[in-house]
Amino acid sequence: MARPVAFDQKKVINSVVKLFWEHGYEATSMKNISDATGLQPGSLYSAFGNKRRLFLTAIDTYFEESMAGPMVLLSGAGTPLQRIHALFRYVVNDTCRTGSNGCLLVNALLETPADDTELRKRIAKMFLELELAIKDVLSEAAACGELAPGKDPGLQAKLLVNNIYGLRVYSKLQPKSPVMTDMIEDLIASLKK
């Protein structure tokens, strides 16, 4: 009886995330995945299911890892709006860094058909997690008088999430644009008016 192949699952998933991030779902074949991971297709199918399951696992892994920095910033030091500002500076720096492939979530949304409800629901849930974290910070800002009167923290959180991912799309057209820094300064100022 053949022994099951032993491998480091986290290392394999990280390789798969990198492939999908660099090439997208359609342009990444199981052969590419097999070559990158050193695993035979049969071992990959046995461990992870099909290419689609691997892609969804890659999306989940990417989100968990990419949210670590923003969540630290949102719960870190400073006033609530200083923390929101720090989050946006982080987004711009991350988006404009050398070798950036953009945001895997945005790339996946732009690549996949509109009727891919499973992927869209999954990513919408991820966006909502960030939105709720931002809403909590904006509620703090409202409570301490830092958020402009009349600004609803829930609506502003939706707008800020839209701006975060909008900046990531914008960077595909204008990589490393200094205008992005101006945009975030204006955005943060609008919360204080």
The predicted pLDDT at position 59 comes to 95
Q: What's the N-to-C CA distance of the chain in angstroms?
A: 71
- SS3 helix, strand, coil % of the chain, rounded to 5? 75, 0, 25
What's the predicted TM-score (pTM) here? 0.88
What lies within 8 Å, CB to CB, of 160 at 6+ separation is 84, 131, 134, 138, 187
Give the C-alpha separation, 87 to 37, whole Å.
33
Distances (CA, A) of 181 to 8, 20, 87, 94, 154: 40, 28, 12, 12, 24
Give the C-alpha separation, 108 to 137, whole Å.
28
The predicted pLDDT at position 1 comes to 45
Q: What is the DSSP letter of 100?
A: -
Q: Which two tokens stand for residue 103?
A: 């945001």
The predicted pLDDT at position 193 comes to 72
The predicted pLDDT at position 35 comes to 94
The predicted pLDDT at position 172 comes to 79
CB neighbourhood size of 134 (10 A): 25
Low-confidence ranges of the chain (pLDDT < 70): 1-6, 98-99
